[in-house]
Amino acid sequence: MPEILNMLIASVIPLLFILVYAVVILWVEIKVASHVQDRLGYMYTGGFHGWAQPIADLLKLLTKEHITPANSDKILFTLAPFVVFAGSYAAYAALPFTSTFIAANLNVGIFYIIAITSFVVIGILMAGWSSNNKYSLFGAMRSVAQIVSYEIPTALSILTVVIVAGTLNLQEVCQVQKGGLFNWNIFKYPPFMLITFLIYFIASLAEVNRTPFDIPEAESELVAGYHTEYTGMKFAMFYLAEYANMFLVSGISAILFFGGWDSPFGEFLSGPAWGVFWFVSKGLFFVFLQIMLRWTLPRLRVDQLMYVSWKVLTPISFVNIMAVGLWAILK
């Protein structure tokens, strides 16, 4: 019985985290956006810099009417948000928040994450297809093509880390990097791991459809992409899933390249509790980076997007993986 309870608690914790994080980051995003564009953004709701605005938004979404477009595929239309959210949430099971807390300590952790996040792709396609809307379908197709294309550089850069770490278990990946800043993967085999990280980071931006790779929901062409027809809570679920994904890829960046829950100062400020702090803050840092990038870089065209993936990132990844491989043996 306690075992079950433990498991249950362990699997609810990430959900709570996501909810809190989403609300916060919603606010942060708007604020960052505003400040980048030299304006203030939310200022009224709740007082200090409109801190209650996201909560108000949430309440608003809760009370919104659901509109199911005519002639849509109703079952798929309803199912899509489930799939999308489940896909991104289930990936959290393998994230080690700290050295003692990981919901499911899989020996194939990173592999599992790659696998389970493909659910999102299916969800997006379902949403786009069932909406009976051209823009949705375009958005979904583009989104899928993009995710699928960038899956390759992502997987290859993860592979590089796996070579270095010698394990697929994310907890062990962190263990390997334990012991301060310079044990982190990012500093190994200079400059190859740095390149690996850059590739991963760029590709992960595309994976979560963030600018400069937000073709699928390019407002000026496609209205809102695959979730054009979604309203109310269903829409909110897509939104939530997107934010969850943002943190997911950032967290993986942190784990793979920046030691995960490891303190940058070696033994100093380390321990399970500090581990959560380090992991979350590293993750949030990359989320912040993503937000910053969104408001600084223009959007790529579809052909440029494909070009970057297939003709830049993939070949570099290949070379990179061989270089790291060779170095790893020669050492």
Partner 1 sequence: MLNEFVKILLFLIISVFFVAGALIVNRFIRPHRPNTEKSTIYECGEEPVGNPWIRFNIRFYTVALIFLIFEVEVVFLFPWAVIYKELGLFAFIEMVVFLLILILGYVYAWAKADLEWDKPRPRYLEVSKLKESFMESKSEKVEI
Partner 2 sequence: MQADLSMLKNVGLEHFLIVSAILFSLGIYAVVTRKNAIMVLMGIELILNSANINFIAFSKYSTAELSGHLAAIFVIILAAAEAAIAIAIVLNIYKNFLTVNIDEIDNLKR
In the region spanning residues 71 to 110, those forming contacts with partner 1, defined by CB under 8 A, are 71-72, 81-82, 85-86, 89-90, 92-94, 103-107
Per the structure block, which two tokens stand in for 307?
């070009």
Cis peptide before 96 (omega within 30 of 0): no
Q: For partner 1, how many residues bind (rule: CB under 8 A)?
A: 81
Question: Judged by CB, which is closer to partner 2: 137, or 291?
Answer: 137
Question: Judged by CB, which is closer to partner 2: 121, or 222?
Answer: 121
105 binds, among partner 2, partner 1, none (CB under 5 to 8 A by kind): partner 1
Does position 2 interact with partner 2 (CB under 8 A)? The reply is: no
Per the structure block, which two tokens stand in for 155?
């997987």
- CA 28 vs CA 65, 218, 236, 309: distances in Å: 27, 21, 17, 29
130 within 8 A of 76, measured Cβ to Cβ: yes
Rounded CA-CA distance 265/178 in Å is 10
Shortest separation between residue 278's beta carbon and partner 1, angstroms? 23
Per-residue contact track with partner 1, 201 to 240, x per CB under 8 A?
----------------------x----xx--xxx-xx---
Rounded CA-CA distance 12/41 in Å is 33
82 binds, among partner 1, partner 2, none (CB under 5 to 8 A by kind): partner 1
Rounded CA-CA distance 166/198 in Å is 21
Does position 1 interact with partner 2 (CB under 8 A)? The reply is: yes
Helix (H, G, I), strand (E, B) or coil at 300: coil
1 binds, among partner 1, partner 2, none (CB under 5 to 8 A by kind): partner 2
- Per CB under 8 A, residues contacting partner 2 are 1, 3-4
